[in-house]
Structure 1
Amino acid sequence: MKRDTTIRIFSLFIALAVVVPAVQAALVVDAGSDRTVLAGEPVTILAACNSTDAFDAMNLSASVDWNTGTTEAEIVAEDEHNGTVRATYTYLAAGTYAATVKVENNATGAVACDTLNVTVKAQTAEVKVAPKTLNQKSNGIMTIFINVAEWLGFAGADRTNVTVSDPAEFAIGNATPEKVNFCAKDGGTLILKYRRQDLDLNEGDNNLTVTGSAVTEEGNVSVAGTGTVSVIKGKNDDGHARAAMAKNQKEFREEQQKSNGKANGRAP
């Protein structure tokens, strides 16, 4: 008797598993793949949204938490059960941000969320270093030239009102410049002078990175550039360093004139 009861209960479980369909979420959103953009340039998310209920865009609302602020998003219905959530945002500072897309059915209370990562890279600045060889035992000055004209346009965009609020903010690691000059000729060049003993560079390093910011209509935008340098550990040779600096300054001015000649007619 017990055996027959067990068999009947087991059969009932099988029948229920066959007859009862799997429960599906009423509302689902897919934010899409991770994105990479430049600071100061907009990123647009197109998230796919679907519902087991009839897709009524009038009863749906959407937003995106960009990790630095939240904005409303547009919902466009594509058919009876599917739609697209669209939102655009501009990050100013370099970094990686988690952007969360949220869709809510205001009639049923159903909510769906999905997150993607947005990697924001700094705008690229052309950097020249003089002298190109850094003697760790020298107490001299290293000069950094940043060609403002090269990144003022932000990838070809018409940005003629970009400025630098404080050139002294351009840093190499924890080192800030001892002196800052700006040459407006040929589109503009920042000339930054750093004390070599402030630069935390190791023997054999081939590059140094300069980071700072530019002021746009949206706010301060991250800017970074990498210059080539050879770090050695040798005797003091400031006279050689000054000669190398003069040579590199001359080379930089010649290269700048060539590049500005090619870009003749572009507003700084």
Structure 2
Amino acid sequence: MRHDTPIRIVILLLALAVAVPAVQAALTIDAGGDRTVLAGEPVTILAVCNDTDALDIENMSASIDWGTRTTEPEIVLDDDRNATILDTWTYLAAGTYSVTVEVANNATGTVARDTLNVTVSPKPVEVKVAPQTLNQKSNGAMTIFVSLAEWFGFSDAGNRHATLPDPSAFTIGNATPERVNFCMKDGGTLILKYNRQDLDLAAGDNTLTVTGSLTGENGTIPVAGSGTVSVINPGNGNKGENGDGKEKVKSQHKSGEAEQQSGGKAKGKTQ
């Protein structure tokens, strides 16, 4: 047996590896990067797919799983090996959704998928707070002014058919308003009064976030806004270590008067 036979086989295999190119994926799709939108705004997916085999629109199918439902998007052939997949969806709830775009070449049986994340944030509203200092152990109400002029047709936002389903559903954390009023001045302002002791905010916080919902042309969507507020530690401010600072000052004042009166009487007796 010749000893050079294994060497010849190895050389032949190396030659074949160089001569035959690597097998490429028959079908690929690119749905683009992650997206961030506001609730109620349409999200458009424009995915690009290509195939090493010829594409035939009659033998292609596609779907988009939006995380809430699945749709069958439009497929547009750009040329014999490239196509565009197009569809639009509107989210009415805030959150992060995983979106999967799938395309299949049914003539060859190949399938390609791509996934992206869509983060949906509440629609912003303008919020003002009065007073801007909060001691949660103090009595009384904190008033929140929510501007809704944009929603009721006093701007170019296109929300002219908006309604307010439940004003009392506007919350600050777990706190709900004790009283609700609506003023049409400046286009529409929601006036909410919260019990200060119901507001669970940490000392040092400088913002107060109000969340609620409004119903527009696309359905009921979440809204949120933040106002400036200064939270102080309960017990600080006018309070001393052993009680109310004012009472302590009053006690000291009475004590001083008593000492003066006692000193005056003693002085009179001496004379």
TM-score, normalising length: structure 2: 0.81
Does 1:13 pair with 2:13? yes
Say whether the 8 Å CA contact 2:66–2:100 is kept in structure 1.
yes
Tell whether the 8 Å contact from 2:103 to 2:112 is kept in structure 1 after alignment. Answer: yes
Note the alpha carbon deviations across 1:49-95, whole angstroms, 9 max, x for none.
Answer: 10111122222121211101111111111112111111111111121
Matches within 5 A, 1:226-245: 226-233=226-233, 234-235=236-237
Whichever residue aligns with residue 113 of structure 2, its letter is: C
CA spacing shift, 1:3–1:120, aligned 2, 3 Å: farther
Taking CA–CA contacts closer than 8 Å with sequence separation of 6 or more, which of the two structures ends up with the larger relative contact order? 1
Gaps of 5+ in 1: 238-268
Q: Which amino acid aligns with 1:25?
A: A
Question: Residue 211 of structure 2 corresponds to which residue in structure 1?
Answer: 211
Identify which range, 194-203 or 7-16, moves more after superposition.
7-16
Q: Which amino acid aligns with 2:103?
A: V
How many residue pairs get matched? Answer: 237
Find the counterpart in structure 2 of residue 43 from structure 1.
Answer: 43
Q: Aligned residue for 1:82?
A: 82
CA, structure 1 residues 2+42, in 2 after alignment: closer, same or farther (shift >3 Å)? farther
Taking a change above 3 Å as real, the CA distance of residues 86 and 235 of structure 1, as seen in their structure-2 partners, is: same
Contact 2:136 2:199 in 1 (8 A): no
Tell which structure's C-alpha radius of gyration is larger: 2
Q: 1:13 to 1:133 in 2, by over 3 A?
A: same
TM-score, scaled relative to structure 1: 0.82
Equivalent pair of 1:62/1:75 in contact (CA under 8 Å): yes
Q: 1:10 to 1:125 in 2, by over 3 A?
A: same
Aligned AA (2:111)? V
8 Å Cα contact 2:151-2:159 kept in structure 1: no
8 Å contact from structure 2 (residues 149, 155) kept in 1: no
The one-letter amino acid paired with 2:186 is D
Give the SS at the match of 1:150. coil
User: Could you say what secondary structure the match of 2:112 adopts?
Assistant: strand
Residue 116 (structure 1) aligns with:
116
Report runs of 4+ in structure 1 exceeding 6 Å deviation.
none
Give the superposition deviation at 1:165.
0.7
Any unmatched runs of 5+ in structure 2?
240-271
- Comparing 130-139 with 82-91, greater Cα deviation is found at 130-139
What secondary structure sits across from 2:72 in the alignment?
strand
Report if aligned partners of 1:138, 1:235 keep a CA contact under 8 Å in 2. no
Note if contact 2:55-2:105 (Cα within 8 Å) is conserved in structure 1: no
How far apart, CA to CA, are the structure 1 residues paired with 2:192 and 2:38? 24
Deviations 1:90-136 (A, max 9, x none): 11112111111111123222211101111112111000101111113
RMSD: 2.1
